[in-house]
Structure 1
Amino acid sequence: MNKILSMHRLGLLFKKDWAENWKFYLLAIPVIIILISLFFYITDDIKREINNGLSYVGPQMKNFQFGHEMKYLTGLIFLSVVAAILRFNSLSHKSKSIDFLLLPATATEKMIINWVWVFPIFFTVYSILYWVMDHAFITAYISMAKEAGVAVTEVNKIVFVDLKTVWEHPSEFSCYPIFTSIFLLGPLLFRKYAVVITIILAATGAYTYMDLLNSMQHSLIPESVKQGFSYTLPGGIRPDYLLLMFVIPALFWIITWMRIKERQV
């Protein structure tokens, strides 16, 4: 290949991928809708609150609000990890691995097409589907609350998902790009039992990170030093959030690109 990136080749890659997998992609939409519905039905606390005749008061409402958005984030992380596994897991099969590596495209182009499907496309589709299902469920719950005679002030507290709230908690939201990037890389690092090994490593890393945060909170480190980690850049951007949201995932993307390049040489 005489170019690192050719838009013409990249366009052909997308057409080839769509031609081979369009049925799978379209089938994934109702599957995601069903999973979101099941998630709402099993875990949602709003219906339980209405059935119990309870009302949201004071700080409980604030906690519930964040919990509502956490359901969105939990589903996003789980399903995006599944999408990442499916993208490269075929490389564990020798014949499919050879077909992928022999594609007339550069490592950059192969990385881009898989990155685009797993991140912006999946994120957009999932967010739209979740918003639609959230709107349907919350509208039904509001009607249910009114029929149950719940006070108007309490009914108004049953609100739709607010993705801005998710962005206001980047330490939690960063789990999405980090874990998805790890599972996108896993099949390229391990030839056998890639998913199992990646799950073990990701769980170990997550536990170590949480333990480190807990240790810092209860350590004897002066408060002035701790606050140094939370200063803001121009525009209100915190460096630690920038690290979690972009820098760490970008490192995994670079390693993924390098592994593709190594294997197709």
Structure 2
Amino acid sequence: MARPPFKPFQPHGQGGPRIHEIPLRLIIPNLITVLAICAGLSGIRMAFEGRFQTAVVLVLIAALLDGIDGRIARALKASSKFGAEMDSLADIVNFGVAPALVLYAYLLDVAGSPGWIAALLFAIACGLRLARFNVLLGDEERPAWQADYFVGVPAPAGAALVMLPAYLGFLGVESSRIFAFASSAYTILIAILLISRVPVFSGKKFGVRVRRDLVLPLILGVVAYVLLLAAYPWYTLTASVLAYLVFLPLSAAAYARTARKEAEHSAAAVVPPEV
């Protein structure tokens, strides 16, 4: 009998048991990632059609969804290698390409080639930032306390920050050539912050438990912010961006203080006590 030219297909590589049903909780994070991609690409389409406010909202929704899908996967214990790879591919679209193209279609094209260069630099910087983030995840030599800080501005925050010229435009700032050049310079600044070594507090330690006396103020604050965002979206987003930019040097100062204390503690532990 002739030997078949190809090996028989094994659904799981080594002939493992066929899985007929997949739990719904394993699908939810991937579904959120796909919806984020759809929102980002739809935002690009809205920008090309001149519906810029809708485009910006869709880009922000894409950044929000893409920023929480990993957290939801960990909360549901539905993390998978497939989901991680898919999320990495979606990040560059939602945090880099979509904001850059929407901002270029809205304003940066008025500056001509410098505006396009700024948009390209932002998208490339976002890709570099994401690649560095994935590398740092496997760095086991990094001190534990440094896990509370991002290295550089995180990509989701960068996507929201870079849209500041659009927020200002929606508030009535004229889309003049001078404003377009200034926005191009601002876009390059955000790109530099993405790939910089500026330590940015991540707030992860606040994401597990909340003190009992802070529960009600926290709920009230979140509700107030959401209401302000719904009633005065562009004012609220502009204020949020400015507050985040002010927060960056404060975060770097806190990192420096912590690093100094850790260095002093390590030095005290190494030096033997005097007899």
Bin the TM-score by the shorter chain: 0.3 to 0.5
Provide the TM-score with structure 2 as the length reference.
0.35
Name the structure where helix makes up a greater proportion of residues.
Answer: 1
State the TM-score, normalizing by the size of structure 1. Answer: 0.36
Relative contact order (C-alpha < 8 Å, sep 6+): which is higher? 1
